[in-house]
Structure 1
Amino acid sequence: MAPVFSHGDLRLYLLSLLDEEPRHGYDLMQALADRTGGTYTPSAGTVYPRLAKLEEEGLVTKTVDGRKTVYAITPAGHAEVHARQADLEGIEAGLADSVRLIADEVRGSVREAMKSLQADLAAARTAQPAREAPPASDDPRVRSREELRRADAAINEFRGQVRADLRTYVARGGELAASVVDDLTTALDAAAREITRAIRR
Structure 2
Amino acid sequence: MAPVFSHGDLRLYLLSLLDEGPRHGYDIMQALSDRTGGTYTPSAGTVYPRLAKLEEEGLVTKSVDGRKTIYEITEAGRAEVASRAGDLKNIEEGLADSVRLIADEVRGSVREAMKSLRADLAAATRAEREDRNQQVRDVTDDLRSLSREQLHRAEVAISEFRAQVRTDLRTHVAKGGTLTASVVDELATGLDEVSRTITRTLRN
Q: Tell me the alpha carbon deviations over residues 7-49 of structure 1, each in whole angstroms, 9 at most, x when there is no partner.
A: 1000000000000010111111111111111111111111111
Q: Which residue of 2 aligns with 1:28?
A: 28
Shift of the alpha carbon at 1:196?
3.8
User: So what's the TM-score if we normalise by structure 2?
Assistant: 0.72
Shift of the alpha carbon at 1:114?
1.2
Distance 2:93 2:53 in 1: 26
Shift of the alpha carbon at 1:125?
3.2
The answer as to whether partners of 2:61 and 2:74 remain within 8 angstroms in 1 is: yes
Give the 5 Å matches for 1:68-87. 68-87=68-87
Distance 1:64 1:123 in 2: 65
Q: Which residue of 2 aligns with 1:56?
A: 56
Query: Partner of 1:176: helix, strand, or coil?
Result: helix
The answer as to whether partners of 1:121 and 1:195 remain within 8 angstroms in 2 is: no
Give the 5 Å matches for 1:52-201. 52-127=52-127, 138=141, 140=143, 174=180, 176=182, 181=186, 189=193, 192-193=196-197, 196=200, 200=204
Distance 2:190 2:52 in 1: 52
Shift of the alpha carbon at 1:100?
0.4
Distance 2:42 2:191 in 1: 37
The answer as to whether partners of 1:103 and 1:175 remain within 8 angstroms in 2 is: no
| Equivalences, count | 188
Distance 2:113 2:103 in 1: 15
After superposition, the Cα gap between the structure-2 partners of 1:102 and 1:113, relative to the gap in structure 1 and judged at 3 Å, is same
Shift of the alpha carbon at 1:60?
0.6
After superposition, the Cα gap between the structure-2 partners of 1:110 and 1:192, relative to the gap in structure 1 and judged at 3 Å, is same
Distance 1:108 1:120 in 2: 18
Distance 2:195 2:67 in 1: 54
Query: Partner of 2:69: helix, strand, or coil?
Result: strand
Identity of aligned residues (%): 67
Query: Partner of 2:42: helix, strand, or coil?
Result: coil
Shift of the alpha carbon at 1:99?
0.8
Distance 1:2 1:111 in 2: 21
Distance 2:29 2:194 in 1: 42
Query: Partner of 1:138: helix, strand, or coil?
Result: helix
State the AA in 2 paired with 1:123: A
Q: List alignment gaps of at least 5 residues for structure 2.
A: none
Shift of the alpha carbon at 1:102?
1.7
After superposition, the Cα gap between the structure-2 partners of 1:66 and 1:116, relative to the gap in structure 1 and judged at 3 Å, is same
Query: Partner of 1:62: helix, strand, or coil?
Result: strand
Distance 1:54 1:173 in 2: 32
Q: Tell me the alpha carbon deviations over residues 101-158 of structure 1, each in whole angstroms, 9 at most, x when there is no partner.
A: 12112211221121111211232134367xxx8x957285797589679869977997
